[in-house]
Amino acid sequence: MKKHIRNHVVTKKVFNNSKYILDLTFFKVATVCLDESLAHSWHSLHTPLDEIERTQGFLETAEAMYICYMKEDGQPPMDLTEFFVAEEDALPQQERIKRFQMAYTHTLYYPAQMYKNLELYEKAGGYCHSTLQRQLEFNQFIPLEWAINAATLSQYYITKTLYIEGRHCLSAAIVIAGLAGEVPSEAAAQENQLRQKRDEIARCWIKYCLNLLQDAKKLLELEVDRQAELRATQLQEEKEKERGRKNAVLFGSIDTFDSICGLEEKVSCVVPVNFEEARAIFLVGQALVNQAKEYFEMDGRVTDHIEILQDHSALFKALAFFEEDLERCCKMHKRRYYLLICRQLHLPLKINRLKANYLLILVVLQELYFIVSTILMRNMNISNAPRQV
Protein backbone atom coordinates (compact mmCIF):
# COMPACT_ATOMS: atom_id res chain seq x y z
CA MET A 1 0.00 0.00 0.00
CA LYS A 2 2.80 2.40 0.99
CA LYS A 3 4.66 1.75 -2.27
CA HIS A 4 1.46 2.26 -4.23
CA ILE A 5 0.90 5.66 -2.60
CA ARG A 6 4.41 6.84 -3.30
CA ASN A 7 4.09 5.84 -6.95
CA HIS A 8 1.01 8.03 -7.25
CA VAL A 9 2.69 10.94 -5.41
CA VAL A 10 5.72 10.84 -7.71
CA THR A 11 3.57 10.59 -10.85
CA LYS A 12 1.21 13.34 -9.59
CA LYS A 13 -1.93 11.15 -9.82
CA VAL A 14 -3.72 13.37 -7.36
CA PHE A 15 -7.19 11.87 -7.20
CA ASN A 16 -6.08 8.22 -6.97
CA ASN A 17 -3.50 9.10 -4.36
CA SER A 18 -6.03 11.09 -2.31
CA LYS A 19 -8.24 8.00 -2.19
CA TYR A 20 -5.42 5.76 -0.92
CA ILE A 21 -4.40 8.25 1.78
CA LEU A 22 -7.97 8.60 2.99
CA ASP A 23 -8.33 4.80 3.05
CA LEU A 24 -5.22 4.46 5.22
CA THR A 25 -6.38 7.16 7.60
CA PHE A 26 -9.83 5.61 7.83
CA PHE A 27 -8.65 2.10 8.67
CA LYS A 28 -6.05 3.36 11.20
CA VAL A 29 -3.30 1.09 9.93
CA ALA A 30 -0.59 3.70 10.42
CA THR A 31 1.41 4.74 13.42
CA VAL A 32 2.17 8.35 14.32
CA CYS A 33 5.20 8.34 12.05
CA LEU A 34 3.14 7.11 9.10
CA ASP A 35 0.46 9.71 9.84
CA GLU A 36 3.11 12.42 9.67
CA SER A 37 4.21 11.06 6.32
CA LEU A 38 0.62 11.09 5.11
CA ALA A 39 0.28 14.74 6.09
CA HIS A 40 3.41 15.48 4.07
CA SER A 41 1.86 13.61 1.13
CA TRP A 42 -1.24 15.81 1.36
CA HIS A 43 1.04 18.84 1.28
CA SER A 44 2.80 17.54 -1.83
CA LEU A 45 -0.54 16.86 -3.50
CA HIS A 46 -2.31 20.12 -2.88
CA THR A 47 0.45 22.73 -3.09
CA PRO A 48 0.93 22.33 -6.88
CA LEU A 49 -2.84 22.76 -7.27
CA ASP A 50 -2.74 26.16 -5.52
CA GLU A 51 -4.69 24.72 -2.60
CA ILE A 52 -2.25 26.08 -0.04
CA GLU A 53 -4.89 26.96 2.51
CA ARG A 54 -6.35 23.45 2.35
CA THR A 55 -3.01 21.80 2.97
CA GLN A 56 -2.42 24.05 6.00
CA GLY A 57 -4.72 21.83 8.06
CA PHE A 58 -2.75 18.67 7.24
CA LEU A 59 0.57 20.28 8.19
CA GLU A 60 -0.84 21.61 11.45
CA THR A 61 -2.19 18.12 12.19
CA ALA A 62 1.27 16.59 11.65
CA GLU A 63 2.86 19.13 14.00
CA ALA A 64 0.20 18.58 16.67
CA MET A 65 0.64 14.79 16.44
CA TYR A 66 4.37 15.07 17.11
CA ILE A 67 3.88 17.36 20.14
CA CYS A 68 1.12 15.17 21.56
CA TYR A 69 3.00 11.92 20.98
CA MET A 70 6.24 13.17 22.57
CA LYS A 71 4.30 14.43 25.58
CA GLU A 72 2.37 11.17 26.11
CA ASP A 73 4.91 8.55 25.05
CA GLY A 74 8.32 10.18 24.60
CA GLN A 75 9.74 7.28 22.57
CA PRO A 76 9.92 7.21 18.76
CA PRO A 77 7.35 5.07 16.92
CA MET A 78 8.20 2.46 14.32
CA ASP A 79 9.66 3.82 11.12
CA LEU A 80 7.74 3.34 7.88
CA THR A 81 10.30 0.83 6.57
CA GLU A 82 9.81 -1.43 9.61
CA PHE A 83 6.30 -2.36 8.51
CA PHE A 84 7.79 -4.28 5.58
CA VAL A 85 10.78 -6.10 7.13
CA ALA A 86 11.22 -9.05 9.47
CA GLU A 87 11.36 -8.35 13.21
CA GLU A 88 15.06 -9.17 13.43
CA ASP A 89 15.76 -6.49 10.80
CA ALA A 90 14.04 -3.76 12.81
CA LEU A 91 15.92 -0.49 13.28
CA PRO A 92 17.89 0.17 16.47
CA GLN A 93 16.38 2.70 18.87
CA GLN A 94 18.93 5.41 18.04
CA GLU A 95 18.14 5.20 14.33
CA ARG A 96 14.41 5.37 15.07
CA ILE A 97 14.93 8.56 17.07
CA LYS A 98 16.99 10.07 14.27
CA ARG A 99 14.39 9.30 11.59
CA PHE A 100 11.45 10.42 13.71
CA GLN A 101 13.13 13.73 14.53
CA MET A 102 14.05 14.18 10.88
CA ALA A 103 10.40 13.67 9.92
CA TYR A 104 9.37 16.38 12.37
CA THR A 105 12.05 18.75 11.03
CA HIS A 106 10.45 18.31 7.59
CA THR A 107 7.09 18.97 9.23
CA LEU A 108 8.41 22.40 10.26
CA TYR A 109 10.02 23.08 6.88
CA TYR A 110 6.83 22.74 4.85
CA PRO A 111 4.76 25.30 6.84
CA ALA A 112 7.61 27.79 6.39
CA GLN A 113 7.14 27.57 2.62
CA MET A 114 3.36 27.59 2.92
CA TYR A 115 3.20 30.69 5.14
CA LYS A 116 5.63 32.46 2.82
CA ASN A 117 3.24 31.82 -0.08
CA LEU A 118 0.39 33.11 2.07
CA GLU A 119 2.52 36.24 2.78
CA LEU A 120 2.46 35.51 6.53
CA TYR A 121 6.15 36.30 6.81
CA GLU A 122 6.39 36.40 10.59
CA LYS A 123 5.09 32.83 10.89
CA ALA A 124 7.27 31.72 7.98
CA GLY A 125 10.35 33.22 9.68
CA GLY A 126 9.54 31.43 12.94
CA TYR A 127 9.26 28.04 11.22
CA CYS A 128 12.48 28.68 9.25
CA HIS A 129 14.31 29.50 12.48
CA SER A 130 13.02 26.35 14.21
CA THR A 131 13.93 24.20 11.18
CA LEU A 132 17.50 25.52 11.14
CA GLN A 133 17.86 24.97 14.88
CA ARG A 134 16.67 21.36 14.66
CA GLN A 135 19.01 20.64 11.76
CA LEU A 136 21.91 21.73 13.96
CA GLU A 137 20.62 19.90 17.02
CA PHE A 138 20.29 16.56 15.22
CA ASN A 139 23.25 17.07 12.87
CA GLN A 140 21.09 16.93 9.73
CA PHE A 141 22.60 19.69 7.61
CA ILE A 142 25.06 20.56 4.85
CA PRO A 143 27.21 23.42 6.24
CA LEU A 144 27.16 25.80 3.26
CA GLU A 145 23.48 25.26 2.54
CA TRP A 146 22.60 25.82 6.21
CA ALA A 147 24.77 28.94 6.41
CA ILE A 148 23.17 30.55 3.35
CA ASN A 149 19.67 29.80 4.69
CA ALA A 150 20.57 31.39 8.04
CA ALA A 151 22.04 34.47 6.32
CA THR A 152 18.90 34.77 4.18
CA LEU A 153 16.71 34.57 7.30
CA SER A 154 18.78 37.37 8.83
CA GLN A 155 17.68 39.71 6.04
CA TYR A 156 14.05 39.22 7.09
CA TYR A 157 14.91 40.07 10.70
CA ILE A 158 16.84 43.17 9.59
CA THR A 159 13.87 44.52 7.62
CA LYS A 160 11.81 44.18 10.82
CA THR A 161 14.57 45.99 12.82
CA LEU A 162 15.11 42.80 14.85
CA TYR A 163 18.87 43.28 15.02
CA ILE A 164 19.52 40.83 17.87
CA GLU A 165 17.99 38.00 15.84
CA GLY A 166 19.61 39.17 12.60
CA ARG A 167 23.07 39.32 14.20
CA HIS A 168 22.55 35.88 15.73
CA CYS A 169 21.68 34.35 12.33
CA LEU A 170 24.69 35.96 10.62
CA SER A 171 27.11 34.93 13.38
CA ALA A 172 25.82 31.36 13.18
CA ALA A 173 26.12 31.45 9.38
CA ILE A 174 29.83 32.32 9.58
CA VAL A 175 30.59 29.65 12.18
CA ILE A 176 28.69 26.88 10.35
CA ALA A 177 30.13 27.87 6.96
CA GLY A 178 33.53 27.37 8.56
CA LEU A 179 32.64 23.70 9.08
CA ALA A 180 32.40 23.17 5.32
CA GLY A 181 36.11 22.50 5.13
CA GLU A 182 35.88 20.00 7.99
CA VAL A 183 32.65 18.10 7.27
CA PRO A 184 32.90 15.88 4.15
CA SER A 185 30.26 16.99 1.66
CA GLU A 186 29.85 17.58 -2.05
CA ALA A 187 29.64 21.34 -1.50
CA ALA A 188 32.78 21.51 0.62
CA ALA A 189 34.81 19.78 -2.11
CA GLN A 190 34.39 22.81 -4.37
CA GLU A 191 36.74 25.47 -3.07
CA ASN A 192 35.44 28.20 -5.38
CA GLN A 193 31.87 27.64 -4.26
CA LEU A 194 32.97 27.72 -0.63
CA ARG A 195 34.60 31.10 -1.14
CA GLN A 196 31.59 32.46 -3.02
CA LYS A 197 29.13 31.43 -0.31
CA ARG A 198 31.25 32.95 2.42
CA ASP A 199 31.44 36.23 0.52
CA GLU A 200 27.66 36.14 0.01
CA ILE A 201 27.32 35.89 3.79
CA ALA A 202 29.70 38.87 4.07
CA ARG A 203 27.34 40.85 1.83
CA CYS A 204 24.48 40.04 4.19
CA TRP A 205 26.61 41.39 7.04
CA ILE A 206 27.19 44.60 5.05
CA LYS A 207 23.41 45.04 4.77
CA TYR A 208 23.14 44.50 8.53
CA CYS A 209 25.64 47.29 9.29
CA LEU A 210 24.15 49.60 6.67
CA ASN A 211 20.57 49.16 7.86
CA LEU A 212 21.57 49.67 11.49
CA LEU A 213 23.23 53.00 10.62
CA GLN A 214 20.38 54.11 8.37
CA ASP A 215 17.76 53.30 11.01
CA ALA A 216 19.77 55.34 13.52
CA LYS A 217 19.82 58.28 11.10
CA LYS A 218 16.03 58.15 10.64
CA LEU A 219 15.48 57.98 14.37
CA LEU A 220 17.85 60.83 15.25
CA GLU A 221 16.48 63.10 12.55
CA LEU A 222 13.17 62.94 14.40
CA GLU A 223 14.69 63.09 17.90
CA VAL A 224 17.76 65.26 17.36
CA ASP A 225 17.56 66.96 20.78
CA ARG A 226 16.87 63.85 22.80
CA GLN A 227 19.98 61.72 22.24
CA ALA A 228 20.76 61.07 25.93
CA GLU A 229 17.17 60.16 26.72
CA LEU A 230 16.96 58.04 23.58
CA ARG A 231 20.17 56.20 24.47
CA ALA A 232 18.93 55.34 27.97
CA THR A 233 15.63 54.06 26.57
CA GLN A 234 17.43 51.93 23.99
CA LEU A 235 19.77 50.35 26.53
CA GLN A 236 16.82 49.40 28.72
CA GLU A 237 14.98 47.91 25.74
CA GLU A 238 18.05 45.92 24.68
CA LYS A 239 18.48 44.49 28.19
CA GLU A 240 14.87 43.32 28.13
CA LYS A 241 15.37 41.80 24.69
CA GLU A 242 18.51 40.00 25.85
CA ARG A 243 16.59 38.51 28.78
CA GLY A 244 13.86 37.44 26.39
CA ARG A 245 16.41 35.64 24.22
CA LYS A 246 17.01 33.12 26.98
CA ASN A 247 13.59 31.71 26.12
CA ALA A 248 14.09 32.06 22.36
CA VAL A 249 15.41 29.48 19.91
CA LEU A 250 19.18 29.97 19.71
CA PHE A 251 21.43 28.30 17.19
CA GLY A 252 24.41 26.18 18.02
CA SER A 253 25.51 22.95 19.62
CA ILE A 254 28.01 22.44 22.45
CA ASP A 255 30.83 22.77 19.91
CA THR A 256 29.61 25.92 18.12
CA PHE A 257 27.57 27.96 20.62
CA ASP A 258 30.58 29.72 22.22
CA SER A 259 31.97 30.62 18.78
CA ILE A 260 28.64 32.12 17.73
CA CYS A 261 28.37 34.16 20.93
CA GLY A 262 31.96 35.34 20.47
CA LEU A 263 31.18 36.72 17.02
CA GLU A 264 28.03 38.44 18.27
CA GLU A 265 30.02 40.37 20.87
CA LYS A 266 32.16 41.96 18.15
CA VAL A 267 29.22 43.71 16.44
CA SER A 268 26.69 45.94 18.15
CA CYS A 269 22.97 45.35 17.75
CA VAL A 270 22.05 48.69 19.35
CA VAL A 271 21.15 51.68 17.16
CA PRO A 272 24.08 54.17 17.52
CA VAL A 273 23.43 57.72 18.75
CA ASN A 274 26.91 59.27 18.35
CA PHE A 275 29.89 59.21 15.99
CA GLU A 276 32.03 56.73 17.96
CA GLU A 277 29.28 54.13 18.10
CA ALA A 278 28.44 54.64 14.42
CA ARG A 279 32.13 54.43 13.43
CA ALA A 280 32.51 51.04 15.17
CA ILE A 281 29.64 49.64 13.08
CA PHE A 282 30.98 51.34 9.93
CA LEU A 283 34.43 49.75 10.34
CA VAL A 284 32.89 46.27 10.58
CA GLY A 285 30.88 46.93 7.41
CA GLN A 286 33.92 48.32 5.57
CA ALA A 287 36.05 45.29 6.45
CA LEU A 288 33.33 43.04 5.04
CA VAL A 289 33.14 45.18 1.89
CA ASN A 290 36.85 44.58 1.31
CA GLN A 291 36.35 40.85 1.85
CA ALA A 292 33.42 40.63 -0.56
CA LYS A 293 35.26 42.62 -3.27
CA GLU A 294 38.02 40.02 -3.36
CA TYR A 295 35.66 37.44 -4.84
CA PHE A 296 33.23 39.67 -6.72
CA GLU A 297 35.91 41.29 -8.86
CA MET A 298 35.30 43.53 -11.85
CA ASP A 299 36.50 40.79 -14.19
CA GLY A 300 33.35 38.73 -14.77
CA ARG A 301 31.35 39.90 -11.71
CA VAL A 302 30.79 43.56 -12.59
CA THR A 303 27.16 43.79 -11.43
CA ASP A 304 27.94 42.31 -8.02
CA HIS A 305 31.04 44.47 -7.70
CA ILE A 306 29.20 47.74 -8.36
CA GLU A 307 26.45 46.79 -5.86
CA ILE A 308 29.14 46.28 -3.23
CA LEU A 309 30.68 49.67 -4.07
CA GLN A 310 27.26 51.29 -3.80
CA ASP A 311 26.84 49.74 -0.36
CA HIS A 312 30.30 51.02 0.58
CA SER A 313 29.27 54.50 -0.57
CA ALA A 314 26.05 54.23 1.45
CA LEU A 315 28.08 53.30 4.56
CA PHE A 316 30.09 56.52 4.20
CA LYS A 317 26.87 58.50 3.76
CA ALA A 318 25.37 56.97 6.92
CA LEU A 319 28.53 57.65 8.92
CA ALA A 320 28.76 61.25 7.65
CA PHE A 321 25.43 62.00 9.33
CA PHE A 322 27.09 61.51 12.74
CA GLU A 323 30.17 63.64 11.93
CA GLU A 324 29.94 67.17 13.34
CA ASP A 325 33.14 68.44 11.67
CA LEU A 326 32.00 69.67 8.23
CA GLU A 327 35.45 69.33 6.66
CA ARG A 328 35.73 65.67 7.65
CA CYS A 329 32.14 65.17 6.52
CA CYS A 330 33.09 66.67 3.14
CA LYS A 331 35.96 64.17 2.82
CA MET A 332 33.55 61.28 3.42
CA HIS A 333 31.27 62.45 0.62
CA LYS A 334 34.29 62.89 -1.69
CA ARG A 335 35.20 59.29 -0.92
CA ARG A 336 31.66 58.26 -1.92
CA TYR A 337 32.09 60.13 -5.20
CA TYR A 338 35.36 58.36 -6.08
CA LEU A 339 33.84 54.98 -5.28
CA LEU A 340 30.95 55.55 -7.68
CA ILE A 341 32.85 57.32 -10.50
CA CYS A 342 35.31 54.45 -11.13
CA ARG A 343 35.59 54.50 -14.96
CA GLN A 344 36.82 50.93 -15.25
CA LEU A 345 33.52 49.82 -13.82
CA HIS A 346 31.30 51.72 -16.23
CA LEU A 347 32.52 50.28 -19.53
CA PRO A 348 30.80 46.85 -19.37
CA LEU A 349 27.66 48.01 -17.51
CA LYS A 350 24.20 47.91 -19.02
CA ILE A 351 22.47 51.26 -19.61
CA ASN A 352 19.99 50.88 -16.71
CA ARG A 353 22.84 50.16 -14.28
CA LEU A 354 24.74 53.19 -15.57
CA LYS A 355 21.71 55.45 -15.07
CA ALA A 356 21.23 54.24 -11.50
CA ASN A 357 24.90 54.79 -10.71
CA TYR A 358 25.01 58.29 -12.22
CA LEU A 359 21.90 59.24 -10.25
CA LEU A 360 23.76 58.28 -7.08
CA ILE A 361 26.73 60.38 -8.21
CA LEU A 362 24.45 63.40 -8.73
CA VAL A 363 23.07 62.97 -5.22
CA VAL A 364 26.64 62.88 -3.83
CA LEU A 365 27.57 66.05 -5.74
CA GLN A 366 24.45 67.79 -4.45
CA GLU A 367 25.37 66.90 -0.85
CA LEU A 368 28.96 68.02 -1.42
CA TYR A 369 27.75 71.35 -2.81
CA PHE A 370 25.60 71.90 0.27
CA ILE A 371 28.44 71.09 2.68
CA VAL A 372 31.03 73.22 0.81
CA SER A 373 28.55 76.12 0.69
CA THR A 374 28.00 75.81 4.42
CA ILE A 375 31.76 75.82 5.09
CA LEU A 376 32.27 78.89 2.88
CA MET A 377 29.43 80.79 4.54
CA ARG A 378 30.81 79.95 7.96
CA ASN A 379 34.29 81.15 7.00
CA MET A 380 32.89 84.37 5.54
CA ASN A 381 30.99 85.08 8.73
CA ILE A 382 34.12 84.53 10.77
CA SER A 383 36.23 86.81 8.56
CA ASN A 384 33.60 89.58 8.57
CA ALA A 385 33.00 89.42 12.29
CA PRO A 386 34.20 92.46 14.31
CA ARG A 387 37.56 91.88 15.93
CA GLN A 388 38.06 92.45 19.60
CA VAL A 389 40.41 95.35 20.32
Q: Output b/e per residue, 126-141; b: 16+ Cβ within 10 A.
A: bbbbbbbbbbbeeeeb
- Report how far apart, in Å, the C-alpha atoms of 250 and of each of 82, 134, 135, 192, 202 are: 34, 10, 12, 30, 21
CA quadruple 41, 45, 50, 56: dihedral, nearest 10: -20
**Structure confidence at residue 129 (pLDDT):** 92
Q: Residue 185 gets which letter from DSSP?
A: -
Distance CA 362, CA 366 (A): 6
**Structure confidence at residue 368 (pLDDT):** 64
Do residues 301 and 348 touch, judged by C-beta distance below 8 A?
A: no
- Report how far apart, in Å, the C-alpha atoms of 144 and of each of 210, 234, 261, 288, 358 are: 24, 35, 20, 18, 36
Per-position pLDDT tens, the chain of length 389: 444 434 444 444 444 444 443 333 333 333 444 444 444 444 444 444 456 666 777 777 777 877 787 777 777 777 667 667 766 667 777 777 777 778 788 778 888 888 887 788 888 888 899 899 988 888 888 888 999 999 999 999 999 989 989 999 999 999 998 887 655 555 445 677 778 888 899 999 999 999 999 998 888 877 656 666 666 666 666 666 666 554 455 786 667 888 888 888 899 888 888 899 999 999 999 999 998 887 777 556 777 888 888 899 899 989 988 988 888 888 887 888 777 776 445 545 554 555 566 566 667 666 765 666 665 566 655 544 443 33
Distance CA 304, CA 355 (A): 16
Backbone angles phi, psi at 315, to 5 degrees: -65, -45
Cβ neighbours of 366 (radius 10 Å) = 11
**Structure confidence at residue 203 (pLDDT):** 93
**Structure confidence at residue 30 (pLDDT):** 38
Distance CA 347, CA 344 (A): 6
**Structure confidence at residue 365 (pLDDT):** 64
**Structure confidence at residue 280 (pLDDT):** 95
pTM of the model: 0.74
Do residues 196 and 208 touch, judged by C-beta distance below 8 A?
A: no
Is the four-CA dihedral 245, 260, 249, 162 of positive or negative sign? positive
Do residues 210 and 314 touch, judged by C-beta distance below 8 A?
A: yes
The letter for the amino acid at 239 is: K
Q: Dump the DSSP string for 113-126.
A: HHHHHTT-HHHHHH
